[in-house]
Structure 1
Amino acid sequence: MIWLQFAILLGAILLGARMKGIGLGVMGMVALAIYIFVFRMRPAEPPIDVMLIILAVVTTAATLQAAGGMDYLVRLAEKILRSKPALIVLLGPLVTYIFTLFAGTAHITYSLLPIISEVSIKKRIRPERALSISVIASHLAITASPISAATAAMLTILNGKITLLNILKVCVPATLVGVLAGVVVCWKKGKDLNKDPQFLEKMKDPEFAESINADVTSTQAPLLPGAKTSVLIFALAVLFIVLVGAFPAIVPSFGQGAGNLAVDASGHIKMAAVIELVMLAAAAAIILCCKTTTTAVAKASLFTSGGQAVVSIFGVVWMSATFMQTNTSMIEHTLGDMVRSAPWTFAIALFLLSILLFSQAATTKALMPLGVSLGIIPPHLVAMFPAVNGDFVLPGYPTLLAAINFDRTGSTHIGRFLVNHSFMIPGLVSVAVAVATGFWLIGVLG
């Protein structure tokens, strides 16, 4: 019976991934309905906490975008990238990493990818090198960001056993080392443009050659009046969240009692609730102080992306959690001995599931509780956290497709066999090195 149930789960994920957008969410609900009404499976707890985190963070990021703060950040990044064009393969991923770390979502990188591609082309550096590792860097940063939904899910699952600071002091350096390992792999990836037969053939077309060689003059519109102020407000909100994670005594504690979504049984405010209220309060401050409107926020592209993410998380995680809950004993019996003797093998399971779910938060929420029930200690789970970044394996994630479309030379590509694409090698190397570094840091830090 478990194999039939698993086939339904897998089918829903594959079909939902082909539908894109909210496809994963709605197909997850179809599978969940089959589980409940056909197999009489008891539904698990829906992932309300992760959904609220995504909604809060994305709303605030969309407010930042509507106030012009995102444009201001992009212009700062453009100055950095254009200042040292020969180092674009290094600077590109570092900038996208920092942006995602700051914003908690990889969707912020869409504005950076065309700049990275253009700088590479002008310097005749193969754009595939910088674009591929830049996308991977933005994904890894999600598992190091203090305000990402994936990090919040980890805190919720390991509530009371690990702090935000414990996660950051391992995952930030581990993912950075992983990104640098990917940079090394990509530094000489493929042929230089001046030696690439496909590019040289395209340059025979006068129109294409003119577009490549033309000097791009900046015709940027003036920044909105509150752009810089909005960035400051957002930064202060992120800083406050990090401080609360490091010093929980900052927030009030209440007496013991029944826990809820905001307060645990011991009376402490949950970190997820702190992120939600601080982020939305920051959104209110940006709207009030930076002369933007709620209508502009609702129309922002980040807000639309966040809405799709919430629906996807809702369906696919609820479906996966119900499957795991029903079959926990069999799964623990099958995997228990192997995982207890070699905890790192659980990272493989995290990576494989993330390939299908296309979401770090969904993978964390769906599978990390199993790691806890298998007896894996919290520090080891933190070391394995970057393994949930397998969403690059199947080239359907929006950031991958955007990078391919922004590369006018065609060097960033999807291979003939689907998985032999530009992001595969840097992605595998970066994630593997990040997890290995995480385990090393756990041993050093104790």
Structure 2
Amino acid sequence: MIIMILQLLIVLGALWVGSRYGSLALGAISGIGLALLVLGFGLKPGNPPTDVIYIIIAAVTCAGIMQASGGMDWLIQIAEKLLRKHPDRITFLAPLCTFFLTVLVGTGHVVYTLMPIICDIALKKGIRPERPCGVASIASQVGITCSPIAAAVVAFVSISNANGFDITIPQVLMVSIPASLCGLMAAATASYKRGLDLDKDPVFQARLQIPEQREYIYGSGATTLDKIIPVEAKRAVYVFLAALCVIVLFAAVPSLLPSWDGKALKMNIVIQIVMITAAALMIIFCKASPKKAVAGPVWQSGMVAVVAIYGIAWLADTYFSNYLGEMQSMLTEIVKEYPWSIAFVFFLVSVLINSQGAVVVAMLPLAYSLGIEGAVLLGVLPSVYGYFFIPNYPSDIATVNFDRSGTTVIGKYLLNHSFMMPGLICVTTSTIVAYLLSMLIF
């Protein structure tokens, strides 16, 4: 037992140190923990999550190519037009825009262009930017469990099918999308009158008395409306959307898939084929530059996620697979009485590893081995997003920097930050609604 606890501390220590450095370090430092477990303690290495990695590579390559064509600019421009048309409702509309951008593209890193626009609109309307910015940053990550090409969704389906819970991607989205929207609207409602109005905020008003600060806050703006969107960019978006429709169609109607020896083609392979085919079509017919795609933020952030999931999930699988019997004996009674309590485990692991896909890959097999039903696990799927708790995720940090008013903050005591309240409300509400929907449907 002492050795088991010591090895768990090594796993947690590797994740904690990796999260301090961020980016590629999260996956790389997990490798140190893996080396200690395998080479130092002699544990049998687990399986690296190759299927999930291949899906991420295919999806972010396709999304990166679309961004290189200018298609992402068109999507951002459409969102900006909506927000500027209804500036008084930005606290509700901003999270919806960031949410659906993530659902379409499969990664929350597409929102960096939209965040300064949200802040600019709020400032010009006299709305405290913390209100829409905080919940919009949360929404950009919540959308991951609602995207048909996100690693978390595809991994949930493939792992569930392997453990006897036959479910498709559309069925997951039937639960996760309405549940997440309920959570986001609850968070937006709580944020609607959050904090002091700008004209009553003494700290903000004091900043305005300094000419340089006033110029910094109000002297510039952010917009994409002046960009001319070429026809090739719009064509690339249509190709991308068509690819998503094809994936959803095959997932909804598996009989359309080819089969060999009675076994149909797996959806993880379908997603890879469709995504790289769509990327090729955009290169050929939409003037998308592969070099520009590789240099873009979507492709780069996706490759960082590949390394992170590679190291984290391999480390976690190595530990849990070697102590599966002990885990079952310790946790079976708890999860048998309160199966939904696995949501707290998912949430706490997410706080450590900053990746919803990695949480699913690392923890879902363990959850099934404990005898938890698939419908319960689908119901608690929103709980795999917990990395807002410690505000070190790139989208949260970027949002703080984009808010020129200084109202979106990381507090003095670290945990009293602008994302805590909307994050907790959203994840709690989403998980409760998803659990009820899953119980009702399955």
Unaligned runs of 5+ in 2: none
- Report matched runs for 1:250-399 at 5 Å: 250-256=256-262, 267-399=263-395
The answer to whether the 8 A contact 2:216-2:404 is kept is no
Q: Deviations over 1:170-196 (max 9, x none)?
A: 111111111111111111111111111
Report the alpha carbon displacement of residue 301 of structure 1 after superposing the two structures with TM: 1.8
Aligned position for 2:69: 67
Aligned position for 1:262: none
Q: Secondary structure at the match of 2:204?
A: helix
Asked if residue 165 in structure 1 is aligned to residue 170 in structure 2, the reply is yes
**Structure 1 pair 51–124 and aligned structure 2 pair: CA distance change class (3 A):** same
Aligned position for 1:120: 122
* Matched AA of 1:193: L
Report the alpha carbon displacement of residue 444 of structure 1 after superposing the two structures with TM: 2.6
Aligned position for 2:215: 210
Aligned position for 1:441: 437
Aligned position for 2:145: 143
Aligned position for 1:183: 188
- Report matched runs for 1:76-87 at 5 Å: 76-87=78-89
In the aligned structure 1, how far is the partner of 2:380 from the partner of 2:227?
A: 44
Asked if residue 98 in structure 1 is aligned to residue 85 in structure 2, the reply is no
Report the alpha carbon displacement of residue 445 of structure 1 after superposing the two structures with TM: 2.2
Unaligned runs of 5+ in 1: 257-266
Please report the TM-score for the alignment, with normalisation by the length of structure 2.
0.96
* Matched AA of 1:191: L
Q: Secondary structure at the match of 1:344?
A: helix
Report the alpha carbon displacement of residue 297 of structure 1 after superposing the two structures with TM: 1.8
Aligned position for 1:263: none
Report the alpha carbon displacement of residue 212 of structure 1 after superposing the two structures with TM: 3.4
Counterpart among 212, 235, 239 of residue 233 in structure 1: 239
**Structure 1 pair 341–62 and aligned structure 2 pair: CA distance change class (3 A):** same
In the aligned structure 2, how far is the partner of 1:297 from the partner of 1:429?
A: 36
In the aligned structure 1, how far is the partner of 2:341 from the partner of 2:222?
A: 51
Aligned position for 1:264: none
* Matched AA of 1:254: W
In the aligned structure 2, how far is the partner of 1:239 from the partner of 1:217?
A: 33
The answer to whether the 8 A contact 1:372-1:378 is kept is yes
Aligned position for 1:41: 43
Aligned position for 1:245: 251
* Matched AA of 1:373: S
The answer to whether the 8 A contact 1:122-1:212 is kept is no
Q: Secondary structure at the match of 2:392?
A: coil
Aligned position for 1:415: 411
Report the alpha carbon displacement of residue 211 of structure 1 after superposing the two structures with TM: 4.0
In the aligned structure 2, how far is the partner of 1:10 from the partner of 1:428?
A: 23
In the aligned structure 1, how far is the partner of 2:230 from the partner of 2:34?
A: 46
Runs of 4+ off more than 6 Å: none
* Matched AA of 1:396: N
* Matched AA of 1:203: L
The answer to whether the 8 A contact 2:120-2:222 is kept is no
The answer to whether the 8 A contact 1:15-1:27 is kept is yes
Q: Which moved more, 1:324-333 or 1:215-224?
A: 215-224
Aligned position for 1:260: none
**Structure 1 pair 212–417 and aligned structure 2 pair: CA distance change class (3 A):** closer
Aligned position for 1:405: 401
Asked if residue 192 in structure 1 is aligned to residue 194 in structure 2, the reply is no
In the aligned structure 1, how far is the partner of 2:221 from the partner of 2:422?
A: 30
The answer to whether the 8 A contact 1:93-1:179 is kept is yes
Please report the TM-score for the alignment, with normalisation by the length of structure 1.
0.95
Q: Secondary structure at the match of 1:161?
A: coil
Q: Secondary structure at the match of 1:242?
A: helix
Report the alpha carbon displacement of residue 337 of structure 1 after superposing the two structures with TM: 0.7
The answer to whether the 8 A contact 2:313-2:362 is kept is yes
Q: Secondary structure at the match of 1:318?
A: helix
Q: Work out the number of aligned pairs and report it.
A: 436
Report the alpha carbon displacement of residue 383 of structure 1 after superposing the two structures with TM: 0.7
Q: Deviations over 1:288-339 (max 9, x none)?
A: 1101222222222211111111111111110011011111111111111111
In the aligned structure 2, how far is the partner of 1:375 from the partner of 1:217?
A: 51
The answer to whether the 8 A contact 2:66-2:288 is kept is no
In the aligned structure 2, how far is the partner of 1:405 from the partner of 1:368?
A: 35
Q: Deviations over 1:322-376 (max 9, x none)?
A: 0111111111111111111111100000000000010000001000111111111
Q: Secondary structure at the match of 2:146?
A: coil
Aligned position for 1:19: 21
In the aligned structure 2, how far is the partner of 1:222 from the partner of 1:164?
A: 36
Report the alpha carbon displacement of residue 83 of structure 1 after superposing the two structures with TM: 0.5
CA RMSD of aligned residues (A): 1.3
In the aligned structure 2, how far is the partner of 1:9 from the partner of 1:402?
A: 29
